[in-house]
């Protein structure tokens, strides 16, 4: 007669193995940080997770889920870079993590600018050197200098940058527009860097960008959405704002007019673009009202679909500033406070939360308290396992 203890040992020796396709489906739904830890489980998992096809499937699933994005915040006053879940409370420390890009020294963070975001990669400008960086995996690549820079032509000043993805060629493009302010003629040069070709080139239709100059000048980054990079600007001979769009598949510039109800007047102190869910958003700081208007284009490239969704009163923002970044899954909006903090407002424009990242101070009242300049750089990105071509 078999002993009970022997039967127990035999049962423990039995291993229940899930089908391979089930394991793949489970892993595809995990966040990047958890997936990277799973590489250590066994060799088959390591090979699976390292497969570019797996990375593509994971990104497609993550992108399909609304609001599965994160923020990266660079606070120069603290020499820190953070990744934050903006759907969580700003005061929840477990919803943020410190990042340490190995290719940059922390002393250079005060000169670091985020000038593009696409498919989990950020385009960074560090002292005139461009880098592509995946904050989730650490993958990075230095972008070589453009021909204008290589030739030492200091007459050209950078107007704006852009970064996007062309699915038809499985290629990433960096866009750079430069302008010669001393030329008697329109002298805007638009160059494109292809990661797949590892080369810069100019577009024959690049003259289309010469009529639309970046609103705030150098180093403005474009917003990638619907296969195109978008910048806010205005024709050099007019005072009416337009959105300049560059289609990465067609390699063509076009202009998207704002709402006819949007009238540019002297009261507007600042305007720029933001991402509201999967829609293009526009925000404008109105000086006389001490408020921020938020507009949304509910149907892409349809002028009549621009809608003013809410107004944020700056009287309730501790720093008196609010620059829109994105919206949360609850319909709230998140923006920077013009210093080194973030503010979250509800769908009525009322302040819900504010948090400063200036040396641990709860409220940043100015550069003197922050022991130096504390303007932050913030961008939205989707966590991904993707690599570069």
Structure confidence at residue 367 as a pLDDT band (50, 70, 90): very low
Residues 103, 34 share a domain: no
Residue with more model confidence, 233 or 299: 299
pLDDT score of 69 more than 80: no
Residues 364, 318 share a domain: yes
In a domain, 81, yes or no: yes
In a domain, 278, yes or no: yes
CB 251 within 8 A of CB 209: no
> Torsions phi, psi of 107, nearest 5?
-70, -15
In a domain, 327, yes or no: yes
Q: What is the pLDDT of residues 175-228, one digit of tens each?
A: 988 777 666 555 577 889 999 999 999 865 554 555 455 444 445 689 999 999
- What domain range is 152 assigned to? 66-381
Burial tier of 42 (Cβ tally within 10 Å: 0-12, 13-18, 19+): exposed
In a domain, 59, yes or no: no
pTM summary value: 0.86
Residues 44, 181 share a domain: no
For residue 116, give both structure tokens.
């593009």
Residues 355, 269 share a domain: yes
Residues 19, 140 share a domain: no
Residues 6 or more apart whose Cβ sits within 8 Å of residue 199: 193
Residues 200, 287 share a domain: yes
Residues 74, 13 share a domain: no
* Mean pLDDT, rounded, of the chain: 82
What is the total count of domains within the chain?
2
Predicted pLDDT of residue 192: 92
- The CATH number of residue 167's host domain is 2.120.10.30
In a domain, 60, yes or no: no
């Amino acid at each position: 007669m078999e002993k009970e203890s022997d039967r127990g040992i035999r049962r423990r020796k039995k291993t229940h193995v899930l089908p391979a396709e089930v394991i793949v489906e489970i892993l595809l739904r995990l966040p990047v940080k958890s997936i990277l830890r799973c590489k250590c489980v066994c060799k088959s998992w390591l090979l699976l997770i390292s497969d570019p096809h797996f990375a593509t499937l994971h990104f497609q699933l993550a992108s399909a889920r609304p609001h599965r994005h994160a923020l990266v915040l660079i606070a120069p006053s603290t020499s820190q870079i953070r990744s934050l879940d903006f759907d969580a409370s700003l005061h929840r420390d477990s919803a943020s993590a410190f990042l340490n890009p190995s290719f940059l020294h922390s002393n250079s963070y005060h000169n670091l600018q985020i000038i593009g975001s696409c498919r989990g990669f950020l385009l960074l400008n560090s002292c005139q050197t461009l880098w592509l960086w995946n904050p989730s995996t650490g993958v990075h690549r230095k972008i070589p200098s453009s021909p204008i820079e290589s030739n030492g032509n200091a007459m050209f000043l950078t107007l704006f940058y852009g970064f996007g993805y062309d699915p038809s060629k499985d290629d990433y493009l960096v866009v750079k527009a430069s302008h010669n302010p001393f030329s008697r003629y329109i002298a805007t040069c638009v160059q494109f860097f292809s990661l797949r070709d590892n080369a810069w080139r100019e577009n024959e239709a690049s003259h289309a960008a010469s009529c639309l100059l970046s609103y705030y000048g150098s180093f403005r980054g474009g917003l990638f959405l619907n296969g195109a990079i978008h910048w806010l600007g205005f024709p050099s001979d007019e005072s009416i704002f337009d959105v300049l769009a560059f289609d990465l598949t067609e390699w063509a510039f076009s202009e998207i007019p704002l709402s006819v109800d949007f009238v540019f007047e002297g009261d507007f102190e600042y305007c720029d673009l933001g991402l509201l869910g999967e829609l293009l958003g526009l925000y404008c700081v109105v000086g006389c009202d001490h408020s921020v208007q938020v507009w949304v284009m509910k149907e892409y490239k349809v002028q009549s679909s621009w809608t003013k969704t809410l107004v944020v009163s700056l009287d309730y923002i501790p720093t008196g500033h609010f620059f829109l970044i994105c919206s949360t899954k609850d319909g709230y909006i998140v923006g920077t406070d013009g210093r080194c903090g973030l503010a979250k407002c509800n769908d009525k424009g009322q302040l819900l939360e504010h948090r400063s990242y200036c040396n641990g101070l709860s409220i940043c009242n100015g550069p003197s308290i922050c022991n130096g300049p504390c303007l932050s750089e913030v961008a939205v990105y989707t966590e991904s396992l993707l690599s570069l071509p």
